[in-house]
Amino acid sequence: MTTTHLHSDQLVAYTGDGSRVVVWRSEPRSTPRGVVVLAGGFAQRMRHMGAIAAYLVANGALVYRFDPVRHPGLSDGNVGSFSLSALSDSLQAVRELAEKENPGETPVAVASSLAARAAVRLATRGSGFARLVLLVGVVDYRRTLAQALGTDYSTWTIDELPATITIEGQVCDPRAVWLDERDQRWGGAEETVIDLLSVRVPVINFVSVSDEWVDAEQVEGIFRLGAGGERYIVRLPEGQHRISANPVALRTLLRMLTTVALCPQDRIAEVVATQDDLPVIAEPGFDELVTLTVQERARERAEAHSSAARSSGAVI
């Protein structure tokens, strides 16, 4: 175990329409050995990605994590109008910020759940990611939404949709999701295959064998069909879509994810193939990660209170 003392500076990036994306940037103690843009899934705020950030920083990464717009957290917009395109725009804005601050460095994207689908789409546009490391990455947007909601609303007309839907405890307007899926063609497995065929950088997806929202067999089939470049599947022997619910699975994931994200490009295949014999990495202690969780939750509340006070014109 090691001690990280993770410190994060708060920055702001801007989407194309001028929306503010709040970013926490965490630097290692020594010269960075890589730049990582870290994106959480739906309902995951950047503080929820603290353990991953701590592992990456302890092993030399300069990490940028963020709250997307139209999403819970510190950035602009309300989750009621959430869309996958808004998440994608936020990821692009943070990638551009990381690239601007680190000339000559090509960031690695580490993206969880729905953010993984956004990362794949961005990579089709020559987004400048060196590789995509996906954590329980969604590859069939329609199927995952149907699993999460219990109903496949993509088969409904827009006039048939309910006034609201609840995803992971968040109340959203289904029309925003429906229109975004239709207009941007996020679609299902077929659309992901088409996108992957245009992605030339390595893509590594960590999948859970008991994931209730993402089918491991389907991921493997999509990666075979979408082999526009190096494609790797890392099967996690335990855990559901919420990996953090299983401490054993979480630690295994954090060690493997950190190694895959930071290893030299020409060693990715070797690392994936020998995952039971990983090189020794620096690992933050359990107590440190618990302390970090408490501190970052308090920081988020303080930042949210300060932002609300400024918006109301109150003196703080």
d(CA 256, CA 252): 6
CB atoms within 10 A of CB 78: 13
Cα–Cα distances (Å) from 198 to 17, 175, 180, 240, 281, in that order, read 26, 29, 21, 30, 33
pLDDT tens digits, one per residue of 204-262: 999 887 777 888 889 999 999 999 999 999 988 765 566 655 666 678 889 999 999 99
Within 8 A by CB and 6+ apart from 107, the residues are 35, 36, 37, 64, 95, 98, 99, 128, 129, 130
pLDDT digits (tens, 9 = 90+) for 133-186: 999 889 999 999 898 888 999 899 999 999 999 988 899 999 999 999 999 999
Q: What is the pLDDT of residue 194?
A: 96
pLDDT digits (tens, 9 = 90+) for 272-287: 988 766 777 899 988 9
- pLDDT of 19-70, one tens digit each? 999 999 999 999 999 999 999 999 899 999 999 999 999 999 999 999 999 9
Instruction: Give the 3-state secondary structure percentages of the chain, helix then strand then coil, rounded to 5.
Output: 45, 15, 35
Contact assessment for residue 296 and residue 70, using Cβ atoms and an 8 Å cutoff = no
Distance CA 110, CA 269 (A): 17
25 sits in which H/E element: strand 20-26
CA distance to 25, 56, 259, 307, per residue, from 302 (Å): 18, 25, 34, 9
**Dist CA 137 CA 42 (whole Å):** 12
CA 60, CA 274: separation in Å to the nearest integer? 22
pLDDT confidence bin for 304, thresholds 50/70/90: confident
Q: Which of 291, 251, 73 is nearest to 82 (CA)?
A: 73
In this predicted structure, what is the pLDDT of residue 276? 64
Could you report the per-residue pLDDT of 113-138, keeping only the tens digit for each?
Answer: 999 999 999 999 776 899 999 998 89
Largest Cα separation within the chain, whole Å, is: 57
Element (H, E) at 203: strand 203-208
Q: What's residue 247's pLDDT? A: 64
Q: Where are the domains of the chain?
A: 8-140+186-312
- Residue 138 contacts residue 116 (beta carbons within 8 Å): yes
Contacts of 132 (CB under 8 A, 6+ apart): 108, 109, 111, 116, 119, 120, 123, 199, 201, 202, 203, 204
CA-based nearest residue to 76, from 93, 52, 101: 93
Sign of CA dihedral 152, 158, 163, 167: positive
Q: Does domain 8-140+186-312 have CATH number 3.40.50.150?
A: no
Amino acid (1-letter code) at residue 28:
P
* Tokens 């979408």, residue located: 226
62-93 pLDDT per residue, tens: 999 999 999 999 999 999 999 999 999 999 99
Question: Which residue carries 């401490």 as its tokens?
Answer: 247
